[in-house]
Structure 1
Amino acid sequence: MSDSATILLVDDEPSVRESVQAYLEYSGDLTVKVASNATDAWRILEKITPDVIISDIMMPEVDGYQFLEKLRDDPRFQGIPVIFLTARGMTSDRIKGYNSGCDAYLPKPFDPEELEAIVKNLLERRKTNEKTATDSAKLEEIAQEIRELKQQLGQQQNTLTTTPSPIKIDLTPREQSVLDLVAEGLMNKEIAARLETSVRNVEKYVSRLFSKTGTNSRTELVRFALKHGLTE
């Protein structure tokens, strides 16, 4: 793992805090902040937002379940993966942990190597989810631009004269279908579903359309296609 991540470890046993912190920080990829109870953990959370939280369940005053409930009720920390550490190994306790919103459950005593593997797996999963969300947001923004562009051009039809394309562009039936759907403001995943093909194939067709029309973005492609009568 190339990027450094911050872990918040909450446990009332000093030996657990020391050993886990030393083990996870050994490789240099992880920075571990420690707290002996939920109250101290919350003070740390007011200053930093960790990438993963590891929490004991059996703690004085505020237990792990109550701590997790407070985390999930706070919009700032709702998406942070939480790993429960506990001496309890009963199935009912694990079910309660998962129902409370924890992402992994590791009964004590545990192998630090297993804990590290769980942490890194959750970090990779979170990174993937964030990238997917970012990509989806960008595509939706592009789709919205295309819809607004078509609306603007539609309003200008009385004064805008459509001119023939200065060059002859030969599109295959599938390229034409993809172009028409791009012009509708659909995203690659939606186009793939409509045409019963893969997202990868749609990406290839869009890339070919960019090349054939000399455009570099979906908005430019739609503007060019509408101007030269390649789509409606």
Structure 2
Amino acid sequence: MKENAVKDSKQLLLIDDDPNLILLVKDYLEFRGYEVVTAENGRKALSVLAEEMPDMIICDVMMPEMDGYTFVEQVRLDPRTSWIPVLFLSAKGQSQDRVKGLTKGADVYMVKPFEPEELVAQVESSLKQANRLIHHSGTEAEAKPKIQVPFDVELTPTEQKVVQFVARGMANREIAEQLNVSQRTIESHVSNMLGKTGLHNRTELARWAIESSMA
């Protein structure tokens, strides 16, 4: 009972087009003390995110209307939701499937069928990690002065996408794969942004994006 009370405030968004799986996983997670909101595909999940701000997302990969890959890309591009931990559930268990899922923006990739206890353990681990990152970011913000850039800096829509990925710690090669362009193009965008802002490196660019609520 005490364990459940600790988790009462944690809300999970569960997305899957299989109603039986939704029912089973929802019941199990609620039994463990989590509040669970559900959606049957990525498009409906985006509508849920417009109203709710879950602490974590558990998402199927293969779904009608909008699959998990497209959904998570949308989540990661929105500064409001880009920080939310995402766990992919998929029947595809090959190495390339796992790599694709993690590259698309998932934090954890689990293969169906799975043990409910393992799912709970992954959820708890992801929530703890997210909490550590939030506290770490807060400590760093107190310890370091804010990044200063000219007040009239304007980024193009593509540059805004690139800087969000930079703030997530992604390498230029990974960003190029996400946006389906060459690595040289990403390097050019980063260089242009450094020139516009007067910053010295990608680390400062990432800090500025975070402090400016762009990521």
Fold shared per TM-score above 0.5: yes
Match of 1:100 among 95, 98, 104: 104
- Number of the residue aligned with 2:27: 22
Q: 64, 67, 70: which one pairs with 1:63?
A: 67
User: Is 1:81 aligned with 2:85?
Assistant: yes
Post-superposition shift, 1:133? Answer: 1.0
Q: Name the aligned partner's letter for residue 129 of structure 1.
A: L
Q: Equivalent residue for 1:40?
A: 44
Alpha-carbon deviation of 1:79? Answer: 0.9
Q: Which runs of 5+ in 1 are unaligned?
A: 143-232
Give the 4+ runs in structure 1 shifted more than 4 A: none
C-alpha separation in 2, matches of 1:82 and 1:18: 19
- Once residues 46 and 35 of structure 1 are traced to their aligned partners in structure 2, the CA distance between those partners, rounded to angstroms, is 13
Shift of 1:139: 2.4
1:159-215 deviations in Å (ceiling 9; x for gaps): xxxxxxxxxxxxxxxxxxxxxxxxxxxxxxxxxxxxxxxxxxxxxxxxxxxxxxxxx
What's the CA shift string for 1:73-108, capped at 9, x where partnerless? 111111111111011111111110111111011111
1:40 to partner: Cα distance: 1.3
SS of equivalent to 1:44: helix
Partner residue of 1:200? none
Q: SS of 2:51's equivalent? A: coil
Question: Larger RCO: Structure 1 or Structure 2 (Cα < 8 Å, ≥ 6 residues apart)?
Answer: 2
| Deviation (angstroms), 1:27 | 2.5
Match of 2:191 in 1: none
In structure 2, which of residues 3, 10, 16 is the aligned counterpart of residue 5 of structure 1? 10
CA deviation after TM superposition for structure 1 residue 132, in Å:
1.1
1:182-197 mapped onto 2 (5 Å cutoff): none
Instruction: Name the % identity.
Output: 42
Give the partner amino acid of 2:32: S
Aligned residues: 141
User: What pairs with 1:1-232 in structure 2 (closer than 5 Å)?
Assistant: 2-3=6-7, 4-28=9-33, 30-140=34-144
Q: Which amino acid is 2:122 matched to?
A: I
Report the Cα offset of residue 45 of structure 1: 0.2
Give the match's secondary structure for 1:46.
helix
Query: Once the 2 structures are TM-superposed, how far is the Cα of residue 137 of structure 1 from its aligned partner?
Result: 1.4
Q: Which of the two has higher C-alpha Rg?
A: 1
